[in-house]
Structure formats: C-alpha cells, structure tokens
Structure 1
Amino acid sequence: MQKIYLDNAATTKVRASVIEKMQIALAESYGNPSSTHTFGRSAKTAIEKTRKIIAKLINAHPSEIIFTSGGTEADNMILRCAVRDLGVRTIITSKIEHHAVLHTVEDLEKEHGISIEYVALDEFGNPDLENLEFLLKKDDSKKLVSLMHINNEIGNVLDIDAVSHLCGENGALFHSDTVQSLGHFAFDVQKIKADFLTAAAHKFHGPKGVGFAYIKRNIGLKALLSGGSQERGFRAGTEPFHNIIGLEEAFVKAYENLDEERAYILDLKSYFIKNLQKALPGVEFNGHSGNLEKSTYTLVNVRLPFDQKKSLMLLFQLDIKGIACSKGSACQSGSDLGSHVLTQILNAEEMKKPSIRFSFSKYTTKQELDYVINELKIFSEN
C-alpha cells in the first residue's frame, strides 16, 4: 500500500538538514544557555545568532523575535499581554480564525470584560474591509485587530497591507496569525507594519514544539511567564536549544528555496484542481482555495459530490488506502462539531457533503496526486 501525505497544513516532514543540525546540537551543545560557563555561553551565542538570522529574513530587529513553543503560545501571549499591559478593551477578529485566537479572546472577554467584535465575511470567507473600518471607528476604546494572513482551512489570503493601513489610520494594534504563511511567503515587517506576527517551525519543515513571536520594539508588553530572565526577560524557561537550531535551519532553507519550491507546489495544486474536476464533475472548492490567485499555493479545500452515507466513511476509506488528509484544522481532531470555518460560509445543504483539505509540500509528487484522484473516483462509483 502506498503512503501518501497530503496534510502539510497540519504539519510537515522535517528536512534532512534540520535533523542533522538538531542531532549535532543535542550531542554537542548540551549546556544550559543561562549558565555562565563555556558550555552555556556557547549555546547562548548560538541562540542569539539564530535570532539575528530570523530577524534579518523578515527585516525585523533581533530584539523583536521571541522564541516560543509554537503558534498557539505566541498567539496567547500576544493577545493576553496586549489586554493586560496595553489597555486593549476591544478585540476585532473573525469567526474563522484559528482556535488559538478565538478561544483566547473568548477567555479574555470572561476574565477581563473586554468587548469582542467579529468582522463581517463575504461568501468566500474574506473579511469585509468596509465593515472592519466601521468597527474601528465605532467607539474610542483601545482596539486590537487579530486577523490571520492565510486561513489554515480554506487558504484565503488576507490583504494584510490594507488591514495594517486601516489599523494605523485608526490607532489600533494589529496582530496576524502568520503560522500558515511565514516560511511560505516573503515578509518585510517594515512594509507590512503589523505590531505582532506568529510562526511555528513545524509548518515549514522544522521541528514541532518551537516557533516565534514577532513583537514590535518598545510596544510595552511584559512577560506572560514568570520564573527566569530568558528571552530578554520576556519568556521564562530554559530555551530548547536543539529546537531553536532546527527552527533556524528550516527557516533559512525555506527562504533560500522559496521561489523554486513555491513554483513547484503551485504547479501541483493547479494539476490537482484540473484533474480532480475531470475525474469528479460537480466537485467544488471551499472559500477561495480553488483560485490560484486568491489563495495560498499550499492547500485546497474540496467539497465532494457524495451523499451523506458516503461522507461518513470517506476519511476512513482514504486512510485505509494510505492517504493522509483532513477535514480541517488538526487542533479540532476528535470533535464532531465540524469545521467552524465552513459553517460560516456554507449553507446547510453544502455542509452535508464531505469537505476535505488536501495540503501539499516539496515532497509531494504528481504521481501521488494521480493515485489520490483515482481512489476518489473509485470511491464515488462504488
């Protein structure tokens, strides 16, 4: 049986060079970065070198890069500290954000009495910028806008420049969950002018359990975790040196090969869309995921023309055939509630049909896509 991995939006295969660098770090650089002896200083120096490399790649200052355990921690840290330290009283977001944002703002509403405003969405799941402007001007409360750059389920690309401009004009802070885009798209924080961004290494062929937050200099956030002076006093806890080294290698390789790998994966996506439409007339694409110009090149979210009975068995049957894909965010696995993203843009009849997210990487091949399309065709005919 073939083993075909098309769930790269959930996590990616680690590059061989990343594994090699991490193995060396684990074997040789085992000193605590906070220790003052040679072993510790060596690890600390390497961490600061990584910080500078990452900052340079997104045109940030090294002090603006804070290492975290991943995107969820980074989102929580930014949103919670903005309310606690910066006097934010209103958070404007959307109902199709990652739960790391949605659940956090819901908790902040209960814990701190802040207001939550949800920007209107169009039929494809894009935030209505006129409505966003209205919400920004609605009252004089201190506001923070939190809108993800790439939606992790339907792949829509936010007009991040327009949103940052609106926030700047109206004195609001801007946070964007860029977990699906950092490592896949070029970023210049001096041009975007976002106040906060987040990244997770395992989305761009790095290790799990490490990421970073970009936090604009001198913005006024204070530490969320107490206990030590690591990360310039902003995040207590012994740094996972090997993971940070893996993050560096994955991030550097992602941008060294960005144009080549993007072109390759975009061609795969175009090929998959074209051939799936031929094999399964009536297939639909959720959000803008079928539009090569308006969605990320890394994924498609397809709504298949199957009845409800077939829908219940689809993922199970695909798994039996060795095909790894998903209904949506891996963070919702085990939930029977369905996709909170799709419920915002599909009607009741459309929701009855199975929607599957297929996400690609540099390791995906057209031969694998042919196999998947053929298995879907066979399933539809049985």
Structure 2
Amino acid sequence: MKTQVAIIGAGPSGLLLGQLLHKQGISNIILERKSSGYVLGRIRAGVLEHTTVQGLEKAGAAERMHREGLVHEGVELVFDREKYRVDFTEAVGKSVVVYGQTEVTRDLMDARAATGGLTVYEAEDVALHGIDTDAPYVTYAKDGQTHRIDCDFIAGCDGFHGVSRQSIPADVLKTYERVYPFGWLGLLSDTPPVSHELIYVKHPDGFALCSQRSETRSRYYLQVPLTDKVEDWPDERFWAELKNRLYPEAAGRLVTGPSLEKSIAPLRSFVSEPMRYHKLFLAGDAAHIVPPTGAKGLNLAAGDVQCLADALADYYHNRSTAGIDGYSARCLKRVWAAERFSWYMTKLLHTFPDSDDFEQKMQEAEFNQLVLTENGAKTLAENYVGLPY
C-alpha cells in the first residue's frame, strides 16, 4: 500500500489528523494496535478548549458536540473552604465545552467511516523504517501476514508508550520529566453533577475535582497516595471522602450512586524534544504528558495535529517546507506554556506530603493572587480556555 501520510495511533489525535488531512485532499492511513472497542472504552478527559472545538468543526465532527456538549463559562476554586469563581467570559470572552473524550473519539470514528478512510485496528508489530530518508515506510502484522505502507511522512500519534518516539535515536532526543508523589482516583457515575461548572478543591486531606460528562453523568476525582489501589476505595468510602473535602453546601447537594468505572492515574509532567525527526512527526502523548489538573492533555494533542495538518497542507499545495520545518518549535512553545500552567495548577491545589509551613503559605499567596488581582484571574482564564496553537 502507498499513501501520503501514515498515522500511527487511532486515538482522538490520530483520528483528528486523518480528518483534517482528508479535508485538504491529502491521503492517509491510520494504524492502531488495539481494537476499536478498546479505544472507545478508555475513560479520559472531557474539557475542550476553544481551539479544540474549532479543530473538530474543521474536521466535520462537531455536530453532536454542539448539540450535547455543555458550555462552561467559568470554574469554581475552593481553597481551604474559601470559594472563588473565575469567570472566563468576563476575563477573556471565551468558554470551554465539557464533552467526554470517548464521545470525541466516537464522532471522529464516525466521520472517518463516512469518508471511507482506512483505519487498520489490531495492527501488531508496527515498525517505522527509513524515517531519515526520502522513502520512509511502515510495516505491521495483521491476520498472520506482514504488510507494508510506503509514504511521504509518518505522524506518531501513538501515545507515551508507542513505537514512534522510540524510533528516534536516543542521542537526538532530550526529555524532561517531573513525577508527582500522588495520583488521582477517578469515579464515573450516572448521577447528576453536584454543580453546573467544575469545582476544583484544595483541602488539607488532598485535592478533589467535581467534573461531569453530561447533565446525568458525573466524574469525580480524589488525590490519593501512589501506594493506594482501587480495591482500597469501595464506593462508600469514596463518596464519604469526597463529601469531607467539599464545602458543606456542595456536600449537601451531592448525589451518590454506584460507580460505572474507577481507576487511579499517576501524575506526571513529561516533554520530549524535538517533535520532528526528518520524516517523522510526534503529536500528543507521544511527545508530552501533562498532569490533568489543567485539562490540557487532549487539547495539546489537538493543537499539535492542527498545526501539523496546516504544515502538510502548505507542503503539498504550495511546495513550501516552512510549516514542517517549523513544526517542532511552534508546537513546543505552546506545549511548555501548557506544562507551566498544569504544573502551576497542580502546585496550587494539591497537598504535598513533604511541604513545610513556608510552602503552604506560598500556596495561600498564590490563591490570593487570583482573588485580589484582576490579572491573576485573567491569566488563569486565558490558559484554561486555551492559547492559540
């Protein structure tokens, strides 16, 4: 087989890139090592930035999101029982949309199916070849046979553990990492949200987040030690601890119910540079990981692939290499801004096991910057709704 762009990974970033390239008349094939059902079964984030919404619109996959997504014009921060609302529309004139990543993936799958684009699921032993030559190609195994895809470029959208980043020589890559000493225990339930907007809670016993997927489905998180296991947290214990960390009014509104899914996710900041190596481009989790505190993971990936789609369109339509040559630097500027924001939100709202009195006072001072200064709230709003890609 031959195509112009081989895309590794059929998560939302790979599928979005495939749709954007299709809209530009650029042929592409997507390879995914898991089944489509497995991809859809992954529970992930649900806050879409302004630019991510625009990307889904350009891809022709935004109709259901506009119909069912929840527009949020602010968030509520609770710092040791003191409440403060950041109004996005007042501060920066923009908003975000709460719409689950699973639904984004489903919509992109449907859009791709409607165009007849080829996605190969359960592709085993994917390997990248000749990425530093003018004739790159990808091999994979399927149904006991080895297949080859010749292409002009390869887009690595296959996540942190994927083959794409690992295909770049070790002496070329430079990585940066920060691992946090706690995780997030998440619970999904078919219960009405405790609030129509997200609530971020800083509590002496640990961080909590009240989020949602729809008007009838909620997603809640608790900061827990890395040594904890899901089995340590039956539903009754989770709900009791969430009520403990919420302020009384919100705790009184909380509707509990059986969990649909529970999992513990570690928190990490990670960046790999560069994001381009000859004919290979990295996008999304293949190049960077952010703590979920700033709601940036999916949005960063969407920014990467929109940037890459623009660059490839410029190359194929105008024979210009300016976009692909500048891809890594352009993306990394936004990536590091998002890393800083996610690190800031994590430091502001979590209880660190080794923090001393001075560091706790610094957390209080940071929160007061939001409450007492117009620029503090505006800066948070600007970053939360999303910087231009």
Q: TM-score, normalised by structure 1?
A: 0.23
Higher relative contact order (CA 8 A, sep 6+): 1
Q: TM-score, normalised by structure 2?
A: 0.23
